[in-house]
Amino acid sequence: MTTLSRVELKFELGLGKVSDITTVRKALGHRKWQNAQVEGVDIDEVREYYRLIREEMKSPTDALLDIASKRTGYAEHCDDINDSEIDHSENRDGQEETSQLVVAVRGATSEAALAMTDVGAAAAASVVDAFYISLGENVVDQLRSRSTNTRANFREIVGSVQNAPLDLRNGSLPGKKTHPPKQITGAWG
């Protein structure tokens, strides 16, 4: 069975005080929470507690409940969890469960995400402007092309009409129609 001293575990987890490990072990209900040596499953549960707090941003109570709910066959070696062992007061140091490195990485990541949002917004404005300018220019260009082509097509029709010979033999012109005089046949003729 693997064992670590509380001091080794404190350094591994980047904690400021050995008492942080003792407090968490007591809250998790470890029966040997006062021992200087931390054993097997107790080590895993302490590591898991700090992982839940740091990476999944769970509250101390939720982290304790999550760990306790996953215990299989190990619970008989533990007393009940007790979240009152962990200080929930307003005087509690907000970084007591996170190492400075984790806090620094989290802060840098947050700032980088905000900066990328600003860059994205600026780029989006330029892209949208370029899109509207391009769209307007293309529409105007297409309309000019259509109007030029339409007029050119009608010029051909006008030219064809002007050059076509008129054959009015079977046609009729507008106006009053005259009928040939009728011949009257009668007594004299």
Distance CA 3, CA 44 (A): 11
The residues that bridge with 38 in the sheet, in sequence order, are 4
Sign of the CA dihedral 163, 168, 171, 177?
Answer: positive
pLDDT of residue 95: 47
Per-residue pLDDT of the chain (189 residues; tens, 9 = 90+): 688 888 888 888 888 788 888 888 888 888 787 888 888 888 888 888 888 888 888 888 888 888 888 776 555 555 566 656 565 554 444 445 555 666 677 778 888 888 888 888 888 888 888 888 888 888 888 888 888 888 777 877 888 777 877 666 666 656 666 666 666 666 665
8 Å CB contact between 25 and 85:
no
Distance (Å) of CA 155 to CA 57, 130, 146, 167: 77, 37, 14, 23
pLDDT of residue 110: 81
Distance (Å) of CA 154 to CA 7, 77, 135, 164, 187: 95, 98, 29, 15, 63
- Helix (H/G/I), strand (E/B), else coil: 91: coil
> Do strands 37-39 and 3-5 pair parallel, antiparallel, or not at all (unpaired)?
antiparallel
Work out the burial of residue 51: count CB atoms within 10 Å of its CB; fewer than 13 is exposed, 13-18 middle, 19 or more buried: middle
Phi, psi of 146 (to 5 degrees): -65, -45
8 Å CB contact between 40 and 1:
yes
- Helix (H/G/I), strand (E/B), else coil: 38: strand
8 Å CB contact between 52 and 60:
no
